[in-house]
Amino acid sequence: MVAQANGLGLLSDEHFTVDGTLIEAAASLKSLRPKDEPPSAEPPDDPGNPSVNFHGQRRSNATHQSTTDPEARLAKKGKGKEAHLAFMGHALMENRHGLLVDFTLSQAGGTAERDAVPELIEQVRERGFHPRTLGADKGYDTKACVADLRARKVTPHVTQNISGRRSAIDSRTTRHGGYATSQPHP
């Protein structure tokens, strides 16, 4: 489908945007068990929907794992939101019409969105595109992510994250009109 859209001239060859989203796993929080604890020999009170009491128990990806989907990770969309077992989805869109040109999944984690960028850029190049700019939200504004994009000859049109820190996006990028055009307007 991407090849058809490209053949019809509907895709930008150079300007892309990336974003990540949580994809809820097909596993219940009730399937979380401590990694270092052997399975209980005692049968559950209700085999179809056993009662689980997590009160007073801290759960994290380092200490707990789902018995039904061990690859799923505890993740949440933001502060104050509840955690779910999830994966991270990464979407790469071209900017002319906003068409999806690549999508990949990974384990959810604090750096998963940024970690997927090099793979997405290389995959789109293998399909004949020539990415010159990559738009992204402020979660991608880190020294490592910006440096990686620049090393790949891709200009990072990443929203500056200036809340209590210095942005990795500097005047090399912000002085150009294309950067202002790529940023969301209030």
Domain contains 10: yes
Looking at the structure of the chain, the number of domains it has is 2
Would you say the C-alpha torsion 174, 178, 184, 186 has a positive or negative sign?
A: positive
- Say yes or no: 19 and 94 in one domain: yes
Helix H or strand E encompassing 54: none
Domain holding 104, by residue range, is 2-24+87-182
Q: Which residues contact residue 160 at a Cβ distance below 8 angstroms, ignoring those fewer than 6 apart?
A: 138, 141, 167, 169, 174
- Say yes or no: 160 and 136 in one domain: yes
- Say yes or no: 60 and 96 in one domain: no
Q: Spell out the per-residue pLDDT of the chain, length 186, in tens.
A: 777 877 777 777 899 999 999 999 998 887 877 787 766 666 555 555 555 555 566 777 777 888 889 999 999 887 888 888 999 999 999 988 889 999 999 999 989 999 999 999 999 999 889 999 999 999 999 999 999 999 999 999 999 998 888 999 988 888 888 888 887 755
